[in-house]
Amino acid sequence: MDWEDLRYFLVLSRCGSLSAAARQLGVDHATVGRRIAALEASLGLRLMDRLPRSRPLTEDGAAIAAAAERMDALAEEALRRSRGATLTLSGAVRVSLPPVLATFCVAPRMGTLRHIHPRLKLVLLATATFAALDRGEADIAIRMSRPEEPDAVARRIGSMRFALYARRDVAERPAEEWEFVGFDESLGHLSQQVWLRKLAGERGLAFESSDLFAQQAAVRAGAGAAVLPSFMGDDDEALVRLPVEPPPKRDLWLIAYPDLRRSPAVRAVMDFLADCISADPRLRP
């Protein structure tokens, strides 16, 4: 059996179609089809049903896919262990975190890290989506929810507090005339967004964006009121807090795998990140 054929099959089992698997693998769908056919021939099993628009797995295919998932997890564990063993106090450590924390809390303190560990490079993956630690997309993560990876180690290092902010002239209007700025539907599950939509009620939102900095800019332009982290809104002289009960706070979790935590570089960066959060009293637990 060609192990590369098994890898192609694993991607197909996750995606459900040849075209989706081909896009993820960066090949054409015919290549994926040939790989799967070769795997079926080597195993003597039919692994999927070839329907016009999908490739559902057979019972044998589901069993092979489950075994391939376990093999993939073991391979990722081996890679993490090797990376943890080779990282010293030099090289690059990748951190996944929300953009607002990268901008306001971590980046402004990079001089301290560079002074203590001049050969250590920090790579900030500042996106609203989670990097998959179990697939090696990042070494460390700061998240506003408990980790989903079962083997990851996490500790609570702070709490992000929120308030409702608007430009002063907007804040002086009667509350029933306020308009609102918030996240789009892709982030509608966030607790602060649920709170905002409940407050807005039938008025809805006048402006939506998946980017918090775009929301801040819209509020500064007078588009309405938005829920912002307190350390972000309080430091903006163009904005004022509105007199309403604040949204629920969200805990901040520092997350890494045990294999990587043994690396001196990863430990140094984790300590640095915890210090960045604790440096702002508005982020303390």
Model pLDDT for residues 268-285, shown as the tens digit of each residue: 999 999 999 998 888 988
For range 55-67, the mean pLDDT: 88
**pLDDT at residue 171, rounded to an integer:** 94
Q: 144, 208, 141: which is closest to 180 by C-alpha?
A: 208
**pLDDT at residue 88, rounded to an integer:** 57
User: 205: which residues sit within 8 A by CB, 6+ positions away?
Assistant: 179, 180, 181, 182, 196, 197, 224
CB atoms within 10 A of CB 119: 10
For range 236-265, the mean pLDDT: 90
- Of 76-85, 155-164, 242-251, 263-272, the range with the lowest mean pLDDT is 76-85
Residue 31, token pair as written in the block: 């290549």
pTM reported for the whole predicted model: 0.67
Asked whether residue 82 carries a pLDDT value surpassing 70, the answer given is no
Q: 74, 54, 285: which is closest to 161 by C-alpha?
A: 285
**pLDDT at residue 85, rounded to an integer:** 53
- Indicate the pLDDT class of residue 221, thresholds 50, 70 and 90: very high
Beta bridge partner(s), residue 254: 142, 155
User: What percent of the chain has a predicted confidence (pLDDT) above 90?
Assistant: 54
Residue 139, token pair as written in the block: 């070494």
**pLDDT at residue 97, rounded to an integer:** 95
Asked whether residue 18 carries a pLDDT value surpassing 90, the answer given is no
Give Rg (Cα) of the chain.
Answer: 24
Residue 282, token pair as written in the block: 């508005």
**pLDDT at residue 84, rounded to an integer:** 58
For range 218-223, the mean pLDDT: 96
Q: Encode pLDDT of 90-127 as tens digits.
A: 778 999 999 999 999 999 999 999 988 888 899 999 98
CB atoms within 10 A of CB 88: 11
Mean pLDDT (the chain) is 89
- Indicate the pLDDT class of residue 161, thresholds 50, 70 and 90: very high
Residue 187, token pair as written in the block: 């982030």
- Indicate the pLDDT class of residue 51, thresholds 50, 70 and 90: confident
Higher pLDDT, 122 or 147: 122
